[in-house]
Amino acid sequence: MTLFLKWSKIASKFFDISQTVSKRSSHTTNLINKKIYIFGGEYIPRNPIDNNLLVLDTVSNEWSSLADPSAPIARMGHSSCSVGDNLYIFGGRTGVEMGETSLNDLHSFNTFTKKWSLIHSDTDSEVYPSRRSYHTMTSQGNKLYIFGGCSVKAGRLNDLYEFDIGSQKWTKLPSDESIVARGGACLVSRDQCLYLIGGFCGHELDECFMFDLRENKWTQIESLPRKLSVFACSSINSENVQLVLHGGEVDPSTMGHNGAGEFSSDTYVYDGKQWKYIDLVEKPSSRGWHSSCSDENKFYIYGGNLENNERTDELWCFEI
């Protein structure tokens, strides 16, 4: 079956931009009830911007900024996902002025009341994910899933945790020796399975794995066409496409997190068996450290770090 695919750059009406910084990387993006929620990230390397939520109404195409004194502290390299009307944020790291401390707090944001709540800290449970950043998070039903990332004590991680929203309990799920510890990967949920894509273990990775939630078992699936980390990837509601991926780092910067590596502008789709490269004339430029969300047949990417080491606030939509 022929797929009709296109990228479109979205020009939207910003609120008073002097009140906040919209350009960023190492942030998170989620879509709930036709609104895109963007939290955290950095404009200056290793310095989180603030703890306000940027919100885009995809119907009116207008932005707003939400501030709440009970919001999580400013951070970058955190993870997020949504369940129903709620947004969830886990972990990340603080900036240079706060010692670049790794975090493992779990917060929720109710999109109706517009209020934040602290759900869990590491003193609440014997089983709890360690402090980490540049990990990845997704949801399935009323459960949250967190994989890997970078910790201060243990270095890179390859553990998988499940949080049951109803019982408020964490469970550590089986790991697999063949899955190297990594940061900068993507964990994506689809059809009772979790897909672990790419990442960085000292070099970029092309390995992909699937965790079957019914059998609690890992299986290796077809690798990416090229080795990538810190890309944007989400599941999408399409009969012929399960996952969409854009961009990412193909070679790290010699300056570490202070510099920009070599980035990709490629778009790939996964149909449940193989990855396919999508060749389009109009598309986002090369970038990494951006984030994505999806709604039905639309895949959105926001922000990121460009190859000139500048952050962007571009919003693009890939439509099937």
Name all domains of the chain by residue range, CATH numbers in brackets.
6-319 (2.120.10.80)
- Per-residue pLDDT for 1 more than 70? no
- Per-residue pLDDT for 264 more than 70? yes
Handedness of CA 16, 64, 287, 254 (dihedral sign): positive
In sequence order, the 6+-apart residues with CB closer than 8 A to the CB of 261 are 249, 250, 251, 252, 253, 288
Q: What is the mean pLDDT of residues 115-130?
A: 85
Mean pLDDT for the chain overall = 93
At 22, the amino acid letter reads S
Task: Report pLDDT for 105.
Answer: 96
Q: What is the pLDDT of residues 169-184, one digit of tens each?
A: 999 999 999 999 999 9
Task: Calculate the CA 5 to chain-centre distance.
Answer: 23
Contact by Cβ (8 Å): 72, 89 = yes
Contact by Cβ (8 Å): 46, 100 = yes
Other C-beta atoms closer than 10 Å to the C-beta of 115 total: 13
Catalytic residue among 156, 182, 190, 311: 156
Active site residue 156: yes
SS3 304: coil
Catalytic residue among 24, 93, 131, 132: 93
Distance between CA atoms of residues 243 and 131, nearest Å: 29
pTM as predicted: 0.95
Counting residues of the chain whose pLDDT is more than 70, the rounded percentage is 92
Task: Report pLDDT for 241.
Answer: 92
- Per-residue pLDDT for 255 more than 80? no
Structure tokens at 287: 């970038």
Residue 123's pLDDT band (cuts 50, 70, 90): low
SS3 29: strand
